[in-house]
Amino acid sequence: MRSLLPCLLALTALLFGQLPASASTAGDYVALGDSYASGVGAGGYERGSGACRRSRHAYPQLVAKALAPSAFHFPACSGASTVDVLNRQLGALGERTALVTITVGGNDLDFTDVMTTCVLSGDSGCKRRAERAAAFVRDELPARLDRTYAAIRARAPNARLLVLGYPRLFETKSCSGGLSAAKRAALNAGADLLADTTAARAKAAGVRYVDVRDRFAGHGICGSPSWVNPLVSPTTDSFHANRLGHAQGYTPAVLESGLAGT
């Protein structure tokens, strides 16, 4: 069993604002997933990452800095679905992989179209689109997640797999530039269904689900400070975790989950 000391050192350093040069973890770390994993919304996009928009401030980058793994692979890509993960992101996995993180599922249900509809349509149009997405989450997404987790475990049999969820995007209070109360309620309900479904499939696969909803509570759109971007320019950064969300929401969640049992 790998020692927990490196993770303890890294977590302590994160809480006190500095990282010891000696903090390290045996094996490789591979970060998979979609725009929430690649860091869309956090800025500081790496040259050469193109449409994948991998950010220097994304939680996988911060986790890698904290744990100093033997090697860090970051194939997560904006727009990726479970199919994309299976077809394009598993090449770095292997016997040496010690840690895998993944955030995926939102693009399978066409998150971008859901948000576009809710921004441009009325309350009833938003609710109908959210209900269509919810039907997909209930009926089709579970099998896609099952295939994804099984493939990761087969390719990286020695790795700890952490499945990172999505936050609720909105606080219940209104604010300038925010959506209506009805739209916010519909979208937050959809986020809860997605989180609960993903958690259930992770449990069935025997891997750890990391729920970030409580961490982001009070810090959604209209929160103070907000860890989620509202509608901004460029619009592709909208409705994603910002730099604070990755640093104070996602990263501590990953590091703390590395200290706990599956």
Residues designated as active site: 35, 240
The set of residues, in sequence order, having a beta carbon less than 8 Å from that of 21 and lying 6+ positions away, is none
Amino acid (one-letter) located at 62:
L
What secondary structure letter does DSSP report for 196?
H
Cis omega before residue 20 (within 30°)? no
**How many other CB atoms sit within 10 Å of the CB of residue 35?**
28
- Answer whether 27's CB lies under 8 Å from 158's CB: yes
What secondary structure letter does DSSP report for 230?
-
* Token couple for 59: 């939680």
**Half-sphere exposure of 78 toward its Cβ, with a 13 Å CA cutoff?**
20
